């Protein structure tokens, strides 16, 4: 390709149809107005329930940020938490509002209470567990959002009920993360 043709093409490309829809730099679907989500409420007035007493209230949807961010408030009644898992492409951040949690990031185990925050970088195995009596609440953020919001909605609708361990692992991988070990409660037994 001749240099003049290459330069003409590179100048015209950003203005070509569909270029803006595929570029990280030209996102037209992003909101142009802010919004407020009240305390104890969900962004779409429909909370996500994973287990009995485990409720998620979406505060910032991945739809609001074109997949850049997903933030929700998790209210937990029962002790425990997810299996040890790893996100290849998402950082995860926890901010404790009420109660106490143990959060394992790699080989480190953090005890976190109201006002504390813990950061888990992508690619590092992690898990957490609600510990202690009473209700506990925390804010969890995924950056970028990946398919985590989609995963939690599917789980709340019964997507993993009756599935084998392999089917559950495949479902996790489909949503951008994988189980790599047991929950924190398992480690306390030894």
- Domains (ranges, CATH) in the chain? 34-188 (2.60.120.10)
Question: Per-residue pLDDT tens for 61-72?
Answer: 999 999 999 999
Q: How far is CA 156 from CA 18, 46, 173, in A?
A: 35, 11, 17
Question: Per-residue pLDDT tens for 4-63?
Answer: 554 454 555 454 444 444 444 444 567 788 999 999 899 999 998 876 668 999 999 999
Q: What is the pTM of this model?
A: 0.80
Interhelix angle for 148-156 vs 165-174, to 10°? 140
Looking at residue 52, its pLDDT comes to 66
Question: Residue 132 has which token pair?
Answer: 């202690």
146's torsion region: left (phi>0), alpha (psi -120 to 50) or beta? left
Backbone angles phi, psi at 11, to 5 degrees: -75, -35
């Amino acid at each position: 390709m001749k240099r003049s043709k290459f330069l003409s093409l590179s100048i015209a490309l950003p203005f070509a149809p569909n270029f803006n829809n595929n570029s990280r730099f030209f996102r037209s679907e992003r909101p142009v107005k802010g919004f407020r989500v009240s305390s104890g409420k969900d962004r779409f007035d429909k909370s996500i329930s994973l287990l009995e007493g485990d409720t998620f209230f979406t505060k910032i949807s991945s739809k609001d940020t074109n997949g850049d961010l997903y933030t929700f408030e998790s209210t937990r009644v029962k002790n425990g938490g997810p299996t040890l898992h790893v996100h290849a492409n998402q950082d995860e951040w926890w901010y404790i509002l009420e109660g106490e949690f143990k959060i394992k990031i790699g080989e480190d185990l953090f005890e976190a209470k109201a006002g504390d925050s813990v950061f888990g970088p992508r690619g590092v195995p992690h898990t957490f567990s609600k510990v202690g009596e009473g209700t506990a609440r925390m804010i969890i953020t995924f950056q970028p959002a990946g398919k985590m919001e989609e995963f939690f909605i599917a789980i709340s609708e019964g997507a993993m009920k009756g599935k084998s361990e392999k089917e559950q692992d495949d479902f996790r991988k489909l949503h951008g993360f994988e189980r790599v070990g047991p929950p924190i409660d398992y480690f306390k037994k030894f």
